[in-house]
Amino acid sequence: MKAIKIQLWYGLLLLGILLGLLTAYRVLISSGFVLYAKTDILVWTMPIAAYVFFSLTSSGLAFVSSIPVVFNIKRYQPLEKRIVFLEIAVLVAAFTCLFLHLGSPQKLYYYIFSPNFASPLWWLGILYGLYLIILLLSFRKIQAGKVSRGLGIFAFIVAIATSTSLGWLFGLPDARPVLDANFLSMYFPLTGFASALAAVLMFSLAYHHFAQIVLSEGDKNLYDDLSKLFGFVMALTLVFFLWRTIVGGVSATAVEFAGFRHMLGSGWYHLALWVGLVIPIVLIAMPSVRTATWGKITAAVLFLVGMFAGRMEMVLTSLVMPTGPKAEGQPPFVSYWPTIWEVFVFVSALAVLLLIYTLGERHLKLAESTE
Amino acid sequence: MPKYAMVIDLQRCVGCGACSIACRNENNVSEGIYWSSKITETSGTFPNVRFHYLPTLCNHCSNPPCVTGCPTKAMHKLDNGITMHDPKKCIGCRYCMYNCPYEVIYFNWQDPHKFWKDDRPVINGGTSSPKEIAKKVNNGNGTPYSNPARAKTLPENRPKGVVEKCTFCDHRLKAGEIPFCVVACPADARIFGDLDKPDSKVSRLLGKFKPYRRKERLGTQPNVYYIRSYNPASYARTKGGI
């Protein structure tokens, strides 16, 4: 029975990956990007929002991983191996989204042969490439039974650089005044950290559930501590989230105010606020829910759903107001709903993540504690 | 090295769109892409209304955000001031479109000139297919009316998955000719030249009339200038009142 369930699970994940391959063929080779709900106004949509979601979660996992390795809080050591492996799986999911977003990914070698050091996008590509290499080296070391503090510190620094560079990337354009680099360079690492805590809770507790392993008293206390930290970081995220709203509404220019109006009216915003922040914070604030496995998983899942909606809202708010010649014949705000092909991008990235993680959990003993 | 710039005289511009059509022909611009475009606005409320027309194109900024953001230098500056794009290096990230405050960069969402690749006859058994016509007239190279001169500095038809925009007809400049939109303008509303030459027509016009550029506050320093404004309306002299 168990074997059938596992085969079914692998079948589902392979189906997700096949959908991604089909999308890659249709978009990059046969039909083109007309399959996405992109227009000359909405040049970035769901694939880039999914990329931001996954890449920041991966950077955030480096922060969680740094708790035992960099800051020497040994209580979190048992989580180290799983976290580093999860970082790799999530990062590969982010790269999947990016691959399906780019118009000509086959020319990525120009990153090396024709670099533009002034471009945040160049730095981001190089830093995430470096990050993947460090993670692979770290995991190899962990697999051999050792944790490299040097690599851990390096990964921590690169993760700060990647998450803040993403803020630079979105904050650079004067063309998009609703985004602000100073704010995003703080907001991105913080929300990445919160997403990572949610992912660690979700994946670790799901593993124990599916492997039918009863949590030891020590493990239970560890996850309770982790959920308290998760609650605190979520509350901090809510404060930043509300400040962004207040600043947009009170002290903005006409263009920023238009972005603010759109943001308040969008379903993504309310999903991020209510489902992604308010409800999970309330859940985690209740001791009886916080200490229960289902409570932790529910709060983590809701937060991740809300965070994805938040990434969507942020990408769209910067683009939905047409300007210049592209505003000809357009309404003040263009609307967006993803096509099935854009959903396939997210589904395939998630399938890649889950397949890598499942294989790791089954064959690489991620529950093993490191020294 | 010259520093090329364009002056658009809005008093002469009649909004006929010949510049846009000429641009399409000269540069083999595909459907849905506009190297040369316009902004139209209606101000006031009926019956006191007015229609405004502003021709637009890439501003070839001296401080271009699209060039700063491009990770692979596909978008780059030439010594003569032109902001140029190289489809060979373009990875299709569209960060230049994200960065451009003027919305003048376009992306090839699909293969160019799709219509001319269709092998179905327009009338079954009656006519040939668009693909057959393109094949016969121009060896299947884009469209039957494709301009081979464009291929001197860019692919004759830019492929799917890369961005493109106005190049000030760099291929014509190399041959000592001015941009084709300037040639085609029936009202001589577009004046092209070298800003480094004090006696060039563009330098003289910029000294004679107060020019303005789009979104100057951003500091991008566009090299497309607008002068004067067309308005034939008049009104009786008045101090208003309350």
**ipTM summary value:** 0.92
Contact A325 B56 (CB under 8 A): yes
Q: Average of pLDDT values for B166-189?
A: 97
For the stretch A273-287, pLDDT in tens is 999 999 999 999 999
Q: In chain A, how many domains are there?
A: 1
Residue with the bigger pLDDT between A368 and B97: it is B97
- When scoring B95, B102, B107 by the number of chain A Cβ atoms within 10 A, the one with the most, hence best to mutate, is B95
Q: Provide the number of structural domains found in chain B.
A: 2
Kindly tell me if the per-residue pLDDT of A210 is higher than 90.
Answer: no
Distance (Å, whole) CA A312 – CA B70: 23
Q: From the CA of B188, how many Å to the nearest CA of chain A?
A: 22
Instruction: Tell whether B18 and B119 lie within a shared domain.
Output: no
Judged by CB atoms closer than 8 Å, whether chains meet at B94 and A43 is answered as yes
Q: Which of B39, B90, B220 sits opposite A104 (nearest CB)?
A: B90
Dihedral sign of CA atoms B139, B144, B150, B155 in order: negative
Residues B211 and B177 in one domain: yes
Of the candidates A102, A176, A322, the beta carbon closest to that of B92 is on: A102
Contacting residues of B for A105, CB less than 8 Å apart: 91-92
Q: Which domain holds residue B76?
A: 4-112+158-227
Q: Closest to B218 (Cβ–Cβ): which among A28, A174, A328?
A: A174
pLDDT over threshold 80, residue B167:
yes
Contact between B106 and A40 using a beta-carbon 8 Å cutoff: yes
Query: Would you say A302 and A198 are in contact if contact means Cβ atoms under 8 Å apart?
Result: no
pLDDT for residue A2 is more than 90? no
Are both B199 and B106 inside the same structural domain? yes
The verdict on residue A33 lying in a domain is no
Size of interface A-B (CB pairs under 8 A): 137
Among residues B17, B29, B14, B3, which one has the least CA distance to residue B145? B29
pLDDT at A253 over 80: no
Task: Read off the pLDDT of each residue in B158-176 and give the average, rounded to a whole number.
Answer: 97
A258 pLDDT higher than 80: no
Whether pLDDT at B223 is above 90: yes
Q: Tell me: do B80 and B173 sit in the same domain.
A: yes
What pLDDT, on a 0 to 100 scale, did the predictor assign at position A104?
96
Region A55-60: mean pLDDT is 97
Interface residue of B93, B218, B226 to substitute, partner A, most A CBs within 10 Å: B93
Q: Return mean pLDDT, chain B.
A: 94
Tell me which of A64-68, A273-277, B137-141 is least confident: B137-141
Distance CA B202, CA B210 (A): 12
C-alpha distance from residue A38 to each of A23, A224, B102, B206 (Å) = 15, 43, 19, 40
Chain A CA closest to residue B71? A122
Do B42 and B128 fall within a single domain? no
Peptide bond before A338: cis, by omega within 30 degrees of 0? no
Residue B75 belongs to a domain: yes
Q: Are A105 and A50 in contact (CB under 8 A)?
A: no
In a domain, B236, yes or no: no
Judge whether B153 lies within some domain: no
Q: What is the pTM of this model?
A: 0.94
Which B residues, 204 through 223, put their C-beta within 8 Å of a C-beta on chain A?
214, 218, 220
Least Cα distance to A33 among B120, B122, B97, B36 occurs for B97
Which of A128, A76, A95 is closest to A20 using CA atoms? A95
Is residue A96 pLDDT above 80, yes or no?
yes
Taking CA B89 as the corner, what is the angle to CA B116 and CA A111, rounded to the nearest 5 degrees?
Answer: 145
Say which CATH number the domain at A97 has.
1.20.1630.10
Q: In whole numbers, what is the pLDDT of chain A averaged over residues?
A: 92
pLDDT at A251 over 80: no
The answer to whether position A158 is within a domain reads yes
Between positions 94 and 133 of B, the ones with CB within 8 A of A are: 94-95, 97-104, 106-111
Query: What is the residue range of A100's domain?
Result: 43-360
- Which two three-digit tokens encode residue A293? 């496995």
pLDDT the model gives residue A287: 95
Question: What confidence score (pLDDT) does residue A12 get?
Answer: 97
- Burial of residue B82 (CB within 10 Å: 0-12, 13-18, 19+) is buried
CA A176 to chain B, closest CA, distance in angstroms equals: 8
Report the sign of the C-alpha dihedral through residues A231, A69, A94, A113, in that order: positive
Average pLDDT over residues A239-246: 91
d(CA A223, CA A115): 44
Residue of B nearest to A328 (CA): B39
> Does A183 have pLDDT greater than 90?
no
Indicate if B97 and B124 belong to the same structural domain. Answer: no
- pLDDT digits over A120-179, tens only? 999 999 999 999 999 999 999 999 988 889 999 999 999 999 999 999 998 877 777 777
SS (H, E, C) A69-83: HCCCCHHHHHHHHHH
pLDDT at A370: 65
**Does B65 map to a domain?**
yes
| Helix, strand, coil distribution of chain B in percent, nearest 5 | 25, 20, 55
B69 & B103 share domain: yes
- What is the spatial distance between Cα B223 and Cα B214, in angstroms, rounded to a whole number? 10
Residue B242 lies in a domain: no
- Among A12-26, A69-83, B12-26, the range scoring the smallest mean pLDDT is A69-83
Q: What is the pLDDT of residue B136?
A: 87
- Going A57 to A61 to A64 to A66, the CA torsion angle's sign is negative
Interface of A with B (CB under 8 A): 28, 31-34, 38, 40, 43-44, 101-105, 107-108, 110-111, 114-116, 118-122, 125, 169, 172-176, 318-319, 322-328
Residue B168 resides in a domain: yes
Give residue A21's pLDDT: 98
Report if residue B241 sits inside a domain: no
Tell me if A40 and B65 make a contact (CB, 8 A cut-off): no
Q: Which chain A residue is nearest to residue B216, measuring alpha carbons?
A: A174
